[in-house]
Amino acid sequence: MIDQKIDTLQDPLEFKRRYFINLIALVGEVYISAGKAKWEMKISGDSVTWNPYLIIKKQEVNFFVYLYEDVFLVSANKERGLLEIYETIGDIERYNL
């Protein structure tokens, strides 16, 4: 499992921070590969930053916010990994869309 591999690194938090955009892509691509979603990029209000969304059942899911919170705001909690973000997307799809 990827989360376990990352946690064995010397500084897993630094790895997650350094490769944050790659982790977003990884989680999104795995979800897309299951045939459940597609990508959509949207420019933010600052007219500079592009944000990646998954389109599921014709609705935007901004899952990257959950990953951001896990990596940058709740970083001490190792149990919150990529698998949990993936599962959260599934829960959003099942219960909110």
Q: How far is CA 20 from CA 6, 28, 35, 39, 57, in A?
A: 12, 12, 23, 17, 26
One pLDDT digit (tens) per residue for the chain, 97 residues: 888 899 899 998 899 999 999 999 999 999 999 888 999 999 999 999 999 999 999 999 998 898 888 888 875 555 568 888 899 899 999 999 8
* C-alpha dist (Å) from residue 66 to 9, 33, 47, 73: 22, 20, 22, 10
Question: In this structure, what token pair is assigned to residue 56?
Answer: 């599921």
Quickly count: other Cβ atoms within 10 Å of residue 17's Cβ.
13
Q: What pTM was computed for the model? A: 0.83
Is residue 5 packed enough to be buried (19+ CB in 10 Å), middle (13-18) or exposed (0-12)? exposed
